[in-house]
A and B are shown apart, each in its own frame.
Chain A
Amino acid sequence: MKAMGTAMKLTPLYGEHKKLGVRFAPFGGWYMPISYEGIIAEHSACRKSAAVFDICHMGEFLFTGDAAELDNAVTQNISGLAEGKSRYGFILNDSGGIEDDLIIFRKAENEFMIVVNAATLENDYEILKKRLRKGDLSDISAETAKIDLQGPLSRDVLKEALGLDIGLKYFNFGYFDILGEKALISRTGYTGELGYEIFINSEHAVELWNKLLGDVRVKPAGLGARDILRLEMGYSLYGHDIDAQTSPDEAGLDMFVNYDKDFFGKSALRVRKGKGATKTKIAFQTEGRRSPRSHYRILSGGKDIGEVTSGVFSPVFSCGIGLGFVTPGFDKKGAVITISDGKNVELKGKITEIPFLKKTSLRN
């Protein structure tokens, strides 16, 4: 673990992970659990039962002010968002590239929680501070722990382990009594299963974590399993599938951009669309057990047409799956492609659609 410098941040659950014999790795400036028992077992727990993830590295901001201010700062429509609901969208830069993807929760008429990625937190805060001309923005990441409980049995687990009866619909949230505080529980996640993201005071993180793990149906899962779970759903990972050079349109995520309002980056997106995209997102599946990986090349009839941005071995399909960008015109569903590492790995594949995994407990 030479890479572990003094600047690496630790979540409130670091000590608990160590007790469980976890494998750690640096992620977005944090020293994060990658796997406990094994990535495939953890993946399976989440698809079939329930898994708990330490997601404390992600950032939370609180904004008190007008929804119109947020409308201007991000791509999603916030003034039209009802209290108790959340929406996924982007912060764009002045060339229409994605500075970050984020979820905004409307807590009250004039109160919002903004959940951002760990590696982009400081940049997001600076951008939002500039764009939100009126109102008050504060970073509440340090005092906010985020623990995700995901899997078809997660509702039952919350009922039995915490005595909570949660009737939330997808992308809805509420406040529930946990360990003497009103914790925000949101029916969202990054796995494609029925699941909840629990935002609780950092002081209660360890106790909540252990309460959830006290239920035999729950396994701790790390970022390794999370990566496979999200990719089976085709969800983008910031820094891999989307970045500051990529527009939502190119990334196949235009449905999270509301063009009926003004927002920062909108005119740049128009200009970009007018010129025609230089790349198009694809999802693909490869033959065999070998995994396609980030930065492998995508070939069509021997011609280099693009690059893989995410790739894993999917335990559900027992083959490789991935996302990537190709030259526009080469993104036809069903088209045969070759994934190559430029050396000796050549995987036969075909362009398909997301989600790879269509039947899950997500909307149960």
Chain B
Amino acid sequence: MDIYYTKDHEWVKVEGRRGIMGISAYAVKQLGDITYVELPEVGKEITKSGVVCTVESVKAASDIYAPVTGKVTEANSVLESAPEKLNESPEDEGWIAKLEISSPDDVNDLMTPDKYKEFLKSLE
């Protein structure tokens, strides 16, 4: 599976037309303790850069944007009762949604892990 990042710090792991998305370790660190995740509904159509769902931390509510266009096929219901999983394992167990991707080309303008690392450095 290839992994890509957005400038808004979402990640998406892609295999053909199947994808999994979440938010990056950097994003989670910026948000602080996460207290609530409003999961997207299964079947929800998402548009690249459109809002997928909302994550709330002790500091603020933040919209999470779609890295690609497609449809939500599964949401990580573990986060409903244990939103802290997002802090503990943002890029693995803390995934937010599984997706069916409309166009695999959508990832072309996203960042590879190396590019994303460079991008994070530029934010410091």
Contacts and interface: CB of A to CB of B under 8 A. Distances in A.
A39 B58 contact: yes
B58 A224 contact: yes
B58 A312 contact: yes
A111 to B, nearest CB: 41
Contacts of A41: 33
B33 A289 contact: no
Contacts of A291: 35-36, 56, 58, 61
Interface SS of A by simple majority: mixed
A24 to B, nearest CB: 13
Interface in B89-120: none
B35 A289 contact: yes
Nearest to B81: A289
Interface in A259-295: 288-291, 293
A131 interface: no
B32 interface: yes
Contact of A290 (B33, B38, B59, B87): B38
A38 interface: yes
**Range class of the A interface residue count:** 10 to 19
A313 B87 CA distance: 16
A228 interface: yes
B32 A313 contact: no
A39 B33 contact: yes
A35 B29 CA distance: 11
A35 B60 CA distance: 14
A277 B47 CA distance: 49
A312 B36 CA distance: 12
Contacts of B58: 39-40, 224, 228, 291, 312-313
Interface string A34-59: 11001111000000000000000000
A23 interface: yes
Contacts of B35: 40, 289-291, 313
A307 B58 CA distance: 20
A313 B59 contact: no
Interface string B27-59: 000001101101000000000000000001011
A35 B36 contact: no
Interface in A316-346: 345
Contacts of A288: 36
Given A289-B83, A290-B56, A291-B56, A313 B61 contact: no
Contacts of A345: 61
Contacts of B61: 291, 293, 345
A228 B33 CA distance: 13
Interface of B: 32-33, 35-36, 38, 56, 58-61, 83, 87
Given A39-B33, A41-B33, 17 more contacts: A34-B59, A38-B32, A38-B33, A38-B87, A39-B59, A224-B32, A224-B59, A228-B58, A289-B36, A289-B56, A289-B83, A290-B38, A291-B58, A293-B60, A313-B36, A313-B58, A345-B61
29 contacts: A34-B59, A35-B32, A38-B32, A38-B33, A38-B87, A39-B32, A39-B33, A39-B58, A39-B59, A40-B35, A40-B58, A224-B32, A224-B58, A228-B58, A289-B35, A289-B56, A289-B83, A290-B35, A290-B36, A290-B38, A290-B56, A291-B56, A291-B61, A293-B60, A293-B61, A312-B58, A313-B35, A313-B36, A313-B58
Interface of A: 23, 34-35, 38-41, 224, 228, 288-291, 293, 312-313, 345
